[in-house]
């Protein structure tokens, strides 16, 4: 059987799709990149904002056309929208064969087999307190980075967010299981791993917490780069920072979602930190690790956010100087606490705030990049530059993209680049040594 699998949403979904691909490969299924050529079409969905759900709905419309031509094709919906909408999906889209929530993927082979002769549609969105897929091996497409899921679920219940409902309660994998997977990733040729979790740093398994896990992964022989995402600011502690600072192979880059700068809004979001605590944390990070990159997520137009509140978000951005920011207009998610708030902000106002925020972040990001010009940095060569076939693109330890002439450098090489400029979010530079020197580095 040939299957087509398309993934939307965050890296957790990407990692889950690799687990699904591993499961299906184990049953002898072959993957195809063409839905027209598949007998099984799987869509791994996201529900974080309106737009994510709208995208999934429109992809399903497309797949329905394929099924109309060939009714034997099976269509399965996985992931967070599947979990969120469950049965309701079948009401509007009766052509869907099965709907599986993120904790039910083990059932896939059985469900596919059953649905081939059973007229009953299958919806299974039970969440588990234990499922971490510790024993399943992901099937990775190759490349530079291996995603390693270390914990699942979220217990934070930020009032805007659907994730605690779509992913269920927090639970973590064993430290040994994670270290084994990282070791295997190195053996397969990945120079980098990214540890994943909805709240990656609330990792806890038996007596192990996130700092010990980081330390154990950093000790994996041959692992050159370790990243992790997303940490919650309230779960960052001094030990975590010391472990990061103490290991050369843990990248000096932290994603620290701010969401909003006004204490009143943070409280209504249930973010569990104040503006001052957040700013102090960012300062401490750069004290312990000078030059550490800090990226963030920000929501504009959360219910009740006034122009003065929004001004405080801009103010925190000026103080912290984020290297980059993912910015979102608040999107109402039915079932969350904030959906009940009556003081929703009009769409046009959200749009104006978003644009203001983008302009500010653009100038801050550029200034942060320009401050690096003139330095020599280590870059991991990842892919060809989109702009020119004669250039590579790679990232620094601080998660910044650098574009440079290829010379004799190859993909997966760690090379030294002299930075000589920045265009927007990326930097550009020149290979430092003569190209021949890089053969040995590879």
Instruction: Report the residue number, 184 or 297, with the smaller CB distance to ligand SF4.
Output: 297
Q: Is 96 in the site for ligand SAH (CB under 6 A)?
A: no
Binding partner of 12, given ligand SF4, ligand F3S, ligand SAH, none, CB within 5-8 angstroms per partner class: ligand F3S
Considering only 14-22, 89-97, 240-248, 323-331, which stretch makes contact with ligand SAH by CB under 6 A?
Answer: 323-331
Q: Which stretch binds ligand SF4 (CB under 6 A): 160-168, 215-223, 339-347, 412-420?
A: 160-168
Q: What is the CA radius of gyration of the chain?
A: 23
| Residue 157 binds which entry of ligand SF4, ligand F3S, ligand SAH, none, CB below 5-8 Å type-dependent | ligand SF4
Segment 38-97, which members bind ligand F3S (CB under 6 A)?
Answer: 46-48, 79-80
List the x/- string, 194-223, binding to ligand F3S by CB under 6 A.
----x-------------------------
CA proximity to 44, closest of 74, 15, 79, 91: 79
Report, in Å, the least distance between residue 256 CB and ligand F3S.
17
**DSSP string spanning 161-173?**
--HHHHH-S-EE-
DSSP state letter for 250: B
Q: Which residues pair with 329 in a beta bridge?
A: 300
Q: Which of 36, 54, 68, 157 binds ligand SF4 (CB under 6 A)?
A: 157
Alpha helix segments (H runs only) across 295-419: 307-320, 347-370
Pick what 43 binds: ligand SF4, ligand F3S, ligand SAH, none; C-beta below 5 to 8 Å, kind-dependent: none
State the burial class of residue 198 (Cβ atoms within 10 Å of its Cβ: 0-12, 13-18, 19+). Answer: buried
Helices (H) and strands (E) in the chain, counts: 14, 21
Interface segment toward ligand SAH; rule CB under 6 A; list 34-42, 246-254, 313-321, 328-336:
328-336
Q: Which of 78, 89, 148, 161 binds ligand SF4 (CB under 6 A)?
A: 161
- In the set 49, 115, 152, 156, which binds ligand SF4 (CB under 6 A)? 156
The answer to whether 254 and 297 are in contact (CB under 8 A) is no
Minimum Å distance from CB 344 to ligand SAH?
12
Interactions with ligand SAH, residue window 220-239 (CB under 6 A)? 230, 232
Q: In angstroms, rounded to a whole number, what is the distance separating the alpha carbons of residues 58 and 356?
A: 30
Instruction: Answer positive or negative: Cα dihedral of 184, 33, 194, 82.
Output: negative
Whole-angstrom distance, CA of residue 129 vs CA of residue 248: 35
Residues 142-171 that bind ligand F3S (CB under 6 A): 162-163, 166-167
Q: Cβ distance 25 to 52 under 8 Å?
A: no
Q: Which stretch binds ligand SF4 (CB under 6 A): 110-118, 156-164, 343-351, 383-391?
A: 156-164
Q: Is 187 exposed, middle or buried (0-12, 13-18, 19+ CB in 10 A)?
A: exposed
Residue 75 to residue 360: CA distance in whole angstroms: 44
Helices (H), 219-262: 238-246
Where along the sequence are the contacts to ligand SAH (CB under 6 A)?
A: 48-49, 160-161, 163, 198-199, 230, 232, 257, 259, 297, 299, 328, 330-331, 333
Where along the sequence are the contacts to ligand SF4 (CB under 6 A)?
A: 154, 156-158, 161, 163-164, 198-199, 232
């Amino acid at each position: 059987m040939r299957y087509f699998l398309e993934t939307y949403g965050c890296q957790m979904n990407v990692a889950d799709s690799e687990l699904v691909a591993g499961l299906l490969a184990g049953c002898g299924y072959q993957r195809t990149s063409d839905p027209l050529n598949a007998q099984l079409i799987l869509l791994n969905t996201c529900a974080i904002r309106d737009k994510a759900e709208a995208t999934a709905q429109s992809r399903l419309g497309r797949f329905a056309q394929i099924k109309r031509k060939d009714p034997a094709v099976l269509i399965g919906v996985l992931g967070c929208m599947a979990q969120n909408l469950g049965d309701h999906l079948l009401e509007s889209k009766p052509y869907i064969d099965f709907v599986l929530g993120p904790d039910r993927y083990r059932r896939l082979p059985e469900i596919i087999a059953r649905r081939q002769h059973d007229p009953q549609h299958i919806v299974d969105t039970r969440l588990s307190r234990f499922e971490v897929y510790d024993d399943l091996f992901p099937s990775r497409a190759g490349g530079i980075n291996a995603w390693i899921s270390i914990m699942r679920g979220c217990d934070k219940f930020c009032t805007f967010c659907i994730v605690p409902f779509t992913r269920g309660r927090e639970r973590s994998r064993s430290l040994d299981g994670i270290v084994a997977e990282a070791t295997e990733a190195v053996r397969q040729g990945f120079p980098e791993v990214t540890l994943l979790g909805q709240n990656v740093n609330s990792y806890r398994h038996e007596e192990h917490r996130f700092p010990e896990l980081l330390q154990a992964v950093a000790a994996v022989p041959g692992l050159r780069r370790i990243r992790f995402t997303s940490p919650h600011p309230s779960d960052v502690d001094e030990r975590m920072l010391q472990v990061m600072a103490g290991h050369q192979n843990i990248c000096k880059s932290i994603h620290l979602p701010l969401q909003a700068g006004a204490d009143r809004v943070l409280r209504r979001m249930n973010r569990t930190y104040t503006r001052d605590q957040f700013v102090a944390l960012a300062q401490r990070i750069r004290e312990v690790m000078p030059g550490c990159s800090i990226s963030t997520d920000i929501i504009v137009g959360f219910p009740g956010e006034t122009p003065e509140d929004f001004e405080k978000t801009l103010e925190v951005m000026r103080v912290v100087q984020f290297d980059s920011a993912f910015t979102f207009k608040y999107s109402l998610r039915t079932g969350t606490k904030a959906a009940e708030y009556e003081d929703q902000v009009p769409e046009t106002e959200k749009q104006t705030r978003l644009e203001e925020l983008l302009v500010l972040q653009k100038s801050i990001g550029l200034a942060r990049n320009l401050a690096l010009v003139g330095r020599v940095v280590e870059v991991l060569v990842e892919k060809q530059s989109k702009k020119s076939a004669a250039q590579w693109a790679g990232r620094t330890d601080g998660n910044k993209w650098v574009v440079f002439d290829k010379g004799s450098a190859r993909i997966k090489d760690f090379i030294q680049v002299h930075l000589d400029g920045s265009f927007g979010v990326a930097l550009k530079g020149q290979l430092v040594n003569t190209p021949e020197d890089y053969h040995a580095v590879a």
